Amino acid sequence: MIVTRNPATAWRVIAGEAVVLSLDSKTLRGLNPVGSRVWELIDGRRSTDEIAAQLVQEFDVDLARALQEVDVFVRQLLAKGLLTESA
């Protein structure tokens, strides 16, 4: 699956953690360091599998767990309207 950030979001990484503001719902969300890195890697070109593979290189996690965690996280962000699925 390839996703992109919703254009109606504003975000910034501060001290390694992303803060994401949904301009539609006026909701502010803070992401932990791993979630922040996933957010940074979401660019509308990389698949969730590619993002998970990158996390394996950067964090102490095996590929199976990274694939599962990225999938769950991305689906949560999709449900909250912070991401959109690319065609």
Using pLDDT thresholds of 50, 70 and 90, give the confidence band for residue 87. low
Q: In this predicted structure, what is the pLDDT of residue 27?
A: 87
Could you tell me the residue range of the domain that residue 65 belongs to? 7-80
The residues near 51 (Cβ < 8 Å, ≥ 6 apart) are 38, 41, 42, 70
3-class DSSP state for residue 21?
A: strand
Q: In this predicted structure, what is the pLDDT of residue 3?
A: 97
Rg of the Cα trace of the chain? Answer: 12
Does residue 86 lie in a domain region?
no
Structurally, how many domains does the chain consist of?
A: 1
Does residue 66 lie in a domain region?
yes
Cα 53 from Cα 47, distance rounded (Å): 10
Here the CATH number for the domain that contains residue 49 is: 1.10.10
pLDDT digit string (tens) for 18-73?
999 998 888 899 999 999 999 999 999 999 999 999 999 999 999 999 999 999 99
Does residue 1 lie in a domain region?
no
pLDDT greater than 70 at residue 14: yes
User: CB of 53 within 8 A of CB of 63?
Assistant: yes
Does residue 42 lie in a domain region?
yes
Global pTM reads: 0.91
Q: In this predicted structure, what is the pLDDT of residue 41?
A: 97
